[in-house]
Structure 1
């Protein structure tokens, strides 16, 4: 009888220990899913890439939503420095429209601008706060960030040249109650201007919306960087992301690299959250793309 009582006591203690581990472990796991940044490395090959851009490293960030990663964004900034990028691109939703606070966003961009050249396009959350956006844009420009609004710039390297295009989120036109050019028109105008200056040039596009990939393919964009999808927020094995804004359930473009014809789309899972506060199997992400000449 004594042995049986001891056995039950041991089993009881084991159950209690298991429950304690579970209770303590869940918050740790959830914190890790929202705050531990992962770095994804992707290679993009093209026979149109100029020779001197072979090995060029582009670091892609998106969808910060005013999130902080340590004091003065130290954890995130150190991750970026470690990647040793040639340029940094940020594809929108730097701030969050629901809890508007520029502080963490400004600190991040200021620190990034000290590392290398930074190119930025707005997202739908900047569009929702279009009254505050001009001040945000002015601050970014003052710290040296290149804000691309339906325009393009050349990138030079040892005599070779490629072009980077940036387009406004479509919501900007709706927010300001004005009739603007469509995404297709903006892309075509910039493509014509670039090809007029340099025929058959390699083109990079920054656009917040991955669901418009077919338009980017039409406009002969070589590589597009997008965000917005948040990786589907919750990711499951063999299924991928569950839901993304603009695409709904089981989104087609939620994370990583997609190819169609001669065009490549890179979708960042982003860094912060907006409506839904928790990521699952979908940690915040830095993407490093290395360009290779075929």
Structure 2
């Protein structure tokens, strides 16, 4: 840890202790964690066929069910997602906080199954999905719920004989990501959207024929303060924490979702749970 980071975290920890010990404690634990922010972004590219104009992709991430996030909350999230009429739904990892301690049941499957998208539902592994012996059971739950796994693989999304590529890599921390394998036999001339749980993987992905990366993992820091920003983010979410970033001379875009649930600490402060709605548009050269 360098000196600047140490000072930032020390001041932030003091503010957290003072603030969360006072009146903001109740707000950060009981109110903001329930305040869903819907972030709308337009993704424009000359590689997007005009057939896909206004095509709507919804991303949710990091539900961490079981750690202060309930099935009732997930049910409400599913209702809100469906109300947005998505063409495509993507989940970028960390379904359950501790798979080995979670009481799995059919209700979770039913809620995930209730999410509807015209062109399908896709997901990738996060570190919590692989952790706690969760790899197989999370796969089974998502498979039974109609979500298609992209684990170092890709799918071709087709509409009226026009296409774009949706790719996904395995979790970087606890899996075996292989972007070369994920793009094997993919057409580099098609618009390509990548799902990668850890946002800092963008530095690797930007070297491939990829246009946009969607990530989670960071939770936006969960607790943020004015002028200081996030106090702590996990490994591989330290460089790219929240919002959108442009790499490779703006040819590569990264969007980092702040997640739905919480982990480690059940608080959110100035960092609401986030649902992303991306609208595709052809960009004329």
Contact 2:40/2:276 (8 A) holds in 1: yes
Deviations 1:137-178 (A, max 9, x none): 1232133211111111100011100111111113444xxxxx
Aligned residue among 260, 265, 269 for 2:247:
260
Q: Distance in 2 between matches of 1:240 and 1:159?
A: 45
Contact 1:69/1:76 (8 A) holds in 2: no
Distance change in 2, residues 1:229/1:146 (3 Å):
same
* Deviation, structure 1 residue 122: 0.7
Corresponding position of 2:4: none
Corresponding position of 2:130: 127
Contact 1:66/1:105 (8 A) holds in 2: no
Distance change in 2, residues 1:220/1:115 (3 Å):
closer
Corresponding position of 1:49: 48
Aligned residue among 168, 186, 190 for 1:201:
190
Aligned residue among 134, 155, 158 for 1:156:
158
Deviations 1:94-150 (A, max 9, x none): 1112743444753442221477621010100111133x4213312321332111111
2:96 partner SS:
coil
Which of 29-38 and 199-208 deviates more?
Answer: 29-38
Corresponding position of 1:106: 109
Deviations 1:180-205 (A, max 9, x none): 5xx3xx2123334102xxx5111111
Distance change in 2, residues 1:252/1:135 (3 Å):
closer
Contact 2:38/2:275 (8 A) holds in 1: yes
* Deviation, structure 1 residue 55: 1.5
Deviations 1:181-232 (A, max 9, x none): xx3xx2123334102xxx5111111110101111110012111111000101
Contact 1:226/1:266 (8 A) holds in 2: yes
* Deviation, structure 1 residue 45: 1.3
Q: Distance in 1 between matches of 2:242 and 2:116?
A: 26
Distance change in 2, residues 1:70/1:152 (3 Å):
closer
Q: Distance in 2 between matches of 1:155 and 1:82?
A: 22
Corresponding position of 1:14: none
User: Could you list the runs of 5+ residues in structure 1 that have no partner in the other structure?
Assistant: 1-21, 174-179
TM-score (norm 2): 0.81
Distance change in 2, residues 1:126/1:49 (3 Å):
same
Distance change in 2, residues 1:107/1:284 (3 Å):
farther
Distance change in 2, residues 1:101/1:238 (3 Å):
farther
Matched, 1:117 2:126: no
Largest Rg, 1 or 2: 1
Q: RMSD between aligned alpha carbons?
A: 2.5
2:183 partner SS:
helix
Distance change in 2, residues 1:159/1:228 (3 Å):
same
Residues 231-250 of structure 1: pairs in structure 2 closer than 5 A: 231-247=220-236
Q: Distance in 2 between matches of 1:127 and 1:220?
A: 27
Q: Distance in 2 between matches of 1:258 and 1:160?
A: 28
User: Could you list the runs of 5+ residues in structure 2 that have no partner in the other structure?
Assistant: 1-20
Distance change in 2, residues 1:33/1:107 (3 Å):
farther
Corresponding position of 1:274: 263
1:244 partner SS:
coil
